Structure 1
Amino acid sequence: MLNPTRAFLLGPLLKGVSRSFYLTLRVLPAGMRDPIGLAYLLARAADTIADTSLIPPEQRLALLLSLRAQVNGAADEGAFLQRMAVEVAGQQTHSDEKVLLESLGPALAVLAQLGESDRAAVREIVTTLTQGMEYDLRTFPDERSGQIVALQELADLDRYTYLVAGCVGEFWTKMTYAHMPGTLKGEPRIMLARGVRFGKALQMTNVLRDCGKDLRIGRCYLPVTLLERFGLTPQDLLVPANSLRAQPLLFELVRLSLDHFREAVEYTLAIPAFSVRLRLACLWPVMIGLETLLLLVHNDDWLDPGKVSKIQRNKVYQVMGYSLPAVASNTLVRNWAAGLIRRIEARLQA
């Protein structure tokens, strides 16, 4: 039986800070829920620290590194929790995020109660994710500086998408092997690589969807070498009227994203049809991601932060509803994904 603290952390609190992920977590097999849910909460707390713009970047970085140390077993938990309460929790305008930061003590206690292999896996994924957040804080300027810094090479973007999402697909795969041995078809090496690309597909979608908003806090994830190829600068992307001019750049990165999504589909189909819960947990983000890309390629104002390509809640429920009869059929899943990819590619070729 789940103890009350763990039940609160992995129930109401998790639901409060991520409704969409909570839906995914609920359909996971029981053994995977605790380590994956706890990893999400710790990573979300780290992300809240990294994104609290009222705190100077160097202070956020110090707090982020302190959280990473606590997750990895540092001894000064009391002093750390006091700093979090004083320096970060009071700055939060969303009550759920405030409660999350105030619940770090119990979350770290639950981490200590996990089995050794799960505890090591959670520590590893939170460490990697916080390295991605550290990369953000060290690479980009203060959000209020008025400056923009862009990544330099496509390899930098690829590395970034691994640190903040590809590693999650890797972690998810390891949890599946640990808690559902024999479930995934295919060699572990191949499935781990596909899991990485699954995560990268979702993060590339986020990068493209949120480009206009990120630019306004000084972050250009679209690399300089690619911008130059299309005759663009980060400052050009700040102008919503340049959306059509920059569309070839968008389409180039959408093509790269689709290659990742194809691997994500293969990953999903490597889960046996009888593992309905695990399949649904993978199928939903794939289809929602593809639906988002479809909106994006048809958005002639994609650089306008007021016109973000975000699918509506009723579309999410539509995806979930259609997935129930489709999930057990490889043919239906493959045809569904292929149909969306064809519609996206048709726009790329128009």
Structure 2
Amino acid sequence: MSNSARTILLGPLLKGVSRSFYLTLRVLPAGMRDPVALAYLLARAADTIADTTLIAPAQRLDLLLALREQVNGGADGGALARRLAVEVAAQQMQSDEKVLLESLGAALDVLSEFSEHDRRAVREIVTMLTTGMEFDLRTFPDERSGQIAALDTFDELDRYTYLVAGCVGEFWTKMTYAHLPGTLTDDPAVTIERGVRFGKALQMTNVLRDCAKDLRIGRCYFPLEMLSRVGLTPPALLSPDASARAQPLLHELVGKTLLLYRDALEYTFAIPAWSIRLRLACLLPIFIGLETLVLLVDNEAWLDPHRVSKVTRSRVYAIIARSTICVASTGALRAWAERLIDTIEARLPGAPASAARAIVK
């Protein structure tokens, strides 16, 4: 494809649909940027299909599986592109989402230009992410049905967070080894596992932040086994007093998420100080995520859809500025992280304040 078309695809269009993740993508080292960005675009197109509620879940699932096959090299003679234009793109209220779906052919052309290693890696991560979307479509009811379904166990939630985010940490790590040899020097198995837990930390934060909205479209990611311990059912989470009654559940899940963030921090601090771009790409989501958890534990109405615990745009810019200033100083970054984790753990009953300092040991 032409360089101009590729530039538009991985430039303005990417910025239009990637929202906060674009902040991470723009600081990535050049070798990693294109394959990671394209993987994001393909996953975003799949997510748009999965989330288009004007289409029945079974129809969305069929289109999602067709997209996965196309990404993995299937030839359909343009049939998928025509279906997406008629069945999905026409339903989009946001023009960037519509353009993304209409640009699927161009995205696949870019994929074909990658090296064999990068092409295989992108296909693997898109396959895994669409498996997570498939899980959603098969597990939860139609958003318009008025019904709610929940996961059964924490292990099921843990598996879900791997499918939709933990696998991204794994992909990210493997791309770092491939494109920036010598940057990651710890044991690869340990580093990859930390990368997986990094991704899970971010997704657990999303689950907690977005739970009020998800509940109202029939999706309860809080496992039944955990809800039963606090005497709640999924429908009860919609009641006006649910935030207070479910606070022990929030505290337990925040505690589990902090353990994941500690591994995310160790993953990041293992990146050499001279690898500024790679460090920054990891620091931004970590500190935005930790500040989101601070808002959550301070939010007495965390299950109210009108009281979402979301870091403001101005605060995001402040995090970017501070991360940029401190990027090469592991000591300063650790101190910043410790203060945030101390703040969060101080709100969790029974959590020793000294536990936050586990990240420096």
Q: CA deviation at 1:2?
A: 7.9
The 2-side partners of 1:58 and 1:2 are apart by: 36
RMSD: 1.1
Paired amino acid for 2:189: R
Q: Compared with structure 1, are the counterparts of its residues 225 and 262 closer, same or farther at alpha carbon in structure 2 (3 Å cutoff)?
A: same
Q: What letter corresponds to residue 34 of structure 1 in structure 2?
A: D
- Per-residue CA shift, 1:95-146, capped at 9, x if unaligned? 0000000000000110111100000000000000000000000000000000
* Cα distance between partner residues in 1 of 2:161 and 2:171: 14
Closer, same or farther: CA 207–77 of 1 in aligned 2, 3 Å: farther
1:326 alignment partner AA: C
CA distance in 2, matches of 1:289, 1:185: 26
Q: Map 1:229-244; keep pairs closer than 5 Å.
A: 229-244=229-244
Q: Distance in 1 between matches of 2:128 and 2:164?
A: 8
Contact 1:239 1:303 in 2 (8 A): no
Once the two structures are superposed, residues 32-54 of structure 1 have per-residue CA deviations (whole angstroms, 9 ceiling, x without a partner) of 01100000000000000000000
Distance 1:154 1:348 in 2: 19
Q: List, as ranges, runs of 4+ consecutive aligned residues in structure 1 with deviation greater than 2 Å.
A: none
Q: 1:301 to 1:187 in 2, by over 3 A?
A: same
Rounded to whole Å, the distance in 2 between the matches of 1:77 and 1:285 is 39
Write the letter of the residue equivalent to 1:110.
V
What TM-score does the superposition give when structure 1 sets the normalisation length? 0.99
Q: Kindly indicate whether residue 193 of structure 2 is the aligned counterpart of residue 193 of structure 1.
A: yes
| Aligned-partner Cα distance in 2 for 1:175–1:294 | 31
CA contact (8 A) 1:240 1:302 kept: no
What secondary structure, in the 3-state scheme, does the structure 1 residue paired with 2:90 have? helix
**What is the alpha-carbon distance in structure 2 between the residues aligned to residue 265 and residue 249 of structure 1?**
24
Judged with a 3 Å threshold, the aligned counterparts in structure 2 of structure 1 residues 332 and 2 are, in CA distance, closer, same or farther, namely farther
Counterpart residue number, 2:146? 146
Deviation at 1:21, TM superposition (A): 1.4
Q: Structure 2: give runs of 5+ residues left out of the alignment.
A: 351-361
Match of 1:72 in 2: 72
Mapped contact 1:185–1:272 kept (Cα < 8 A)? no
Q: Alpha-carbon deviation of 1:240?
A: 3.5
Residues 1:248 and 2:248 aligned together: yes
C-alpha distance after superposition, 1:74-106 (max 9, x if no partner): 011411111111111000000000000000000
Q: How many angstroms apart in 2 are the aligned matches of 1:175 and 1:75? A: 27
Q: Percent identity?
A: 70
1:16 equivalent in structure 2 = 16
- Rounded to whole Å, the distance in 2 between the matches of 1:2 and 1:202 is 35
Offset, 1:241: 2.1
Structure 1: gaps (5+ residues): none
Equivalent residues, number: 350
Show the 5 A alignment for 1:164-179. 164-179=164-179
Task: State the TM-score, normalizing by the size of structure 2.
Answer: 0.96
State the 1:204 CA deviation: 0.2
> Which residue of structure 2 aligns with residue 114 of structure 1?
114
SS in 2 for 1:73: coil
Letter in 2 for 1:245: R
Superimposed CA distance per residue, residues 281-300 of structure 1 (whole angstroms, 9 cap, x where no aligned partner): 00000000000000000000
Q: CA deviation at 1:304?
A: 0.4
TM-superposed CA distance for 1:249, in Å, is: 0.6
Which piece of structure 1 moves more, 116-125 or 12-21?
12-21
- Higher mean displacement: 318-327 or 141-150: 318-327
- Alpha-carbon separation, structure 1, partners of 2:341 and 2:252: 15
Distance 1:121 1:6 in 2: 19
**Residues in 2 aligned to 1:316 and 1:2: alpha-carbon distance in whole angstroms:** 35
